Amino acid sequence: MSEQTVVNPQTMENLVSLCKRRGFVFASSDIYGGLASAWDYGPLGVELKNRIQRFWWREMTQLHDDIVGLDAAIMMHPRVWEASGHVESFADLMVEDTVTNERFRWDHLPEQNREQMVSPAGNPLSQPKEFNLMFKTHLGPVQESSSVVYLRPETAQGIYVNYKNVLQTSRVRIPFGIAQVGKAFRNEIVTKNFIFRTCEFEQMEMQFFVHPSEDEKWFEYWKEERMQSYRRMGVRVDRLRFHRHGPDELAHYAKDAFDIQFLFPFGWQELEGIHNRTDFDLRRHSEYSGKDLTYLEDATRERYLPYIIETSAGLTRSVLMVLSDAYEEETIAEGDVRTVLRFHPELAPITVGVFPLVKKDGLAELARDIERDLRADFTTFYDQSGAIGRRYRRQDEVGTPFCVTIDYQTRENNTVTLRERDSMAQQRVPVAELAARIKQAITEYKRTGT
Ligand code: GAP
């Protein structure tokens, strides 16, 4: 399916509107009319983003004892980007509609438009020209060529230049990995589809250093492992697939590459790249820095430049993936449609909503006490306004998997109603068992719905 294929524009429109209305994502500098391609994450959005990041970090560093973490600076020595090949080759081909001046990425235009050199509006296109995607600025008050710095277009290079530091200061031996989450910047020719492609975004990258003879084995391992990780995250299996890069798609550093693609409302698109970067990066950094970056195998005394298998996921893009995977408009009865975000409970920004049936007769105070107790284990939200049905719907819309209602019976026998988001099923649960029951439900969670 091509970049242009629109699968369900309505879903995208409704999702964007929900994100703004409920505080997931706002346009950057909203009061000034917004800034194209930059977005701010609101109270619920930042919770969701942090949870996705935490899930990834746990999968990578806690569940793999051969991977350690790093947090390198965004600004790096300018020679890094010469060595990496980004100054020379990190460019997209750009064309312009000669009538409307609208810009397009050459590789994103349908074949027919490229052959006929016409824009989607039917106007003549300019000749393709190269456009480097790196943001360039200057360090210090004097703008001379020696003060040039770039905003990093990928987090990976921070890992390569620290590879020796990590090797010398931690107990890792090859094969091992270094994981990092952070901002990256690209002056994209066309930014569209909300937070899908932006100029400022976040990446979750892991670079795995291996013996050159084992590159294909580890490439296969990480390809499968990353796909399984999305499944563990609760993403629908039929919305994920692999796409292998053809020779014309491969990045300048890659010997082999697969994308994990997700079926967004606007079509199949890349979510994460798995790349066999060979020894390209370490070789180049060795040449440009003059430093020996070879690895000495303890047992065999073999000295070699490790190959690198990279897993490179977009964090902000994953936020859009999780939102679109979770979003549903469900018809409950004729004329009654509820909007529900079926987040995996571990990713949901709020885990438990707590409501008193009414504010009076001490129920509000009782509900406050129960909510306070739950805070030790879960992110909670207290709401006492409006009809109970409306309160449930408000929580469905932001993906809260559990709601607890405190009513008159609570005063009598210390039980509450526990309502589950996806099935809307309600059961009576003793307050003393509430936290344990919710934890169990999170562990056993299986997505239902369409
Ligand atoms: N270090 C390798 C690398 O950066 P990439 O395929 O260019 O590879 C990896 O990017 C991931 O980063 C993509 O799969 C995507 O999720 C995310 N990404 C790349 N450009 C992006 C952009 N302009 N906006 C949002 N996410 C982006």
CATH number, domain of 389, equals 3.40.50.800
- Rounded Cα distance between 321 and 245, Å, is 21
- Whether 204 is in a domain gets the answer yes
179 neighbors 67 (Cβ within 8 angstroms): yes
One domain, residues 365 and 316: no
Residue 164 has which token pair? 């020796």
Q: Is the CB of 312 under 6 A from ligand 1?
A: yes
- Rounded Cα distance between 21 and 83, Å, is 45
**Ligand 1 center from residue 172 Cα (angstroms):** 27
**Ligand 1 center from residue 253 Cα (angstroms):** 15
- What's the pLDDT score for residue 91? 87
- What's the pLDDT score for residue 1? 40
CATH of the domain at 285: 3.30.930.10
Q: Is the CB of 47 under 6 A from ligand 1?
A: no
Q: Is the CB of 284 under 6 A from ligand 1?
A: no
Residue 448 has phi, psi (to 5 degrees) of -120, 180
Angle ∠(359,361,364) on CA atoms, nearest 5: 40
Q: Is the CB of 233 under 6 A from ligand 1?
A: no
One domain, residues 55 and 160: yes
**Ligand 1 center from residue 10 Cα (angstroms):** 26
Probe residue for ligand 1, chosen from 92, 206, 270 as the CB with the greatest number of ligand atoms within 8 Å: 270
Q: Is the CB of 271 under 6 A from ligand 1?
A: yes
One domain, residues 250 and 182: yes
- Whether 393 is in a domain gets the answer yes
Q: Which atom of ligand 1 is found nearest the CA of 197? A: 24
One domain, residues 201 and 297: yes
- Rounded Cα distance between 356 and 383, Å, is 8
Q: Is the CB of 207 under 6 A from ligand 1?
A: no
Residue with CA nearest ligand 1 atom 14: 272
One domain, residues 171 and 281: yes
One domain, residues 384 and 259: no
Q: Which atom of ligand 1 is found nearest the CA of 318? A: 16
User: What are the 10-residue block averages of pLDDT along the chain, 450 residues in total?
Assistant: 56 95 96 92 98 98 97 97 94 92 91 94 94 92 82 98 96 96 94 91 98 98 98 94 94 93 96 98 98 96 98 98 96 92 97 97 97 97 96 98 98 97 97 98 83
- Residue-range definition of the domain harbouring residue 368: 350-448
Task: State whether residue 307 is helix, strand or coil.
Answer: strand
One domain, residues 290 and 355: no
One domain, residues 167 and 282: yes
Among residues 323, 342, 359, the one where a domain terminates is 323
275 neighbors 312 (Cβ within 8 angstroms): yes
Residue 295's alpha-carbon distances to 49, 170, 282, in angstroms, are: 36, 14, 11
- Whether 103 is in a domain gets the answer no
Q: Is the CB of 200 under 6 A from ligand 1?
A: no
Residue 201's alpha-carbon distances to 134, 182, 378, 418, 443, in angstroms, are: 13, 8, 28, 38, 31
Probe residue for ligand 1, chosen from 201, 310, 316, 319 as the CB with the greatest number of ligand atoms within 8 Å: 201
User: Is the pTM for the entire model greater than 0.75?
Assistant: yes
- What's the pLDDT score for residue 401? 98
One domain, residues 316 and 361: no
One domain, residues 220 and 310: yes
**139: Cβ contacts below 8 Å, ≥ 6 apart:** 75, 147, 148, 149
Residue 239 has which token pair? 């919305």
354 neighbors 384 (Cβ within 8 angstroms): no
One domain, residues 57 and 195: yes
- Whether 383 is in a domain gets the answer yes
One domain, residues 310 and 174: yes
- Rounded Cα distance between 193 and 53, Å, is 21
- Whether 140 is in a domain gets the answer no
Which H or E element spans position 278?
A: none
3 neighbors 114 (Cβ within 8 angstroms): no
Probe residue for ligand 1, chosen from 107, 281, 312 as the CB with the greatest number of ligand atoms within 8 Å: 312
Total tally of structural domains belonging to the chain: 2
DSSP notation for 27-86: ETTGGGT--TT-EEE-HHHHHHHHHHHHHHHIIIIIS-TTEEE----SB--HHHHHHTTH
- What's the pLDDT score for residue 447? 78
If you count them, how many residues does the chain have? 450
Q: Is the CB of 320 under 6 A from ligand 1?
A: no
Beta strands in 190-306 (DSSP E): 200-210, 240-244, 256-264, 267-276, 295-296, 303-304
Among residues 270, 288, 323, the one where a domain terminates is 323
- What's the pLDDT score for residue 377? 97
Residue 395 has which token pair? 């929580």
- Whether 275 is in a domain gets the answer yes
Q: Is the CB of 197 under 6 A from ligand 1?
A: yes
Residue 61 has phi, psi (to 5 degrees) of -95, -35
- Whether 135 is in a domain gets the answer no
Q: Is the CB of 397 under 6 A from ligand 1?
A: no
- Whether 180 is in a domain gets the answer yes
- What's the pLDDT score for residue 164? 96
Ramachandran category for residue 25: left, alpha or beta (phi over 0 → left; psi -120 to 50 → alpha): beta
Q: Is the CB of 234 under 6 A from ligand 1?
A: no
Residue with CA nearest ligand 1 atom 20: 197
- Rounded Cα distance between 255 and 278, Å, is 7
Q: Which residues of 397-408 are buried (b: 16+ CB within 10 A; e: fewer)?
A: bbbbbbbbbbbe
Q: Which atom of ligand 1 is found nearest the CA of 272? A: 14
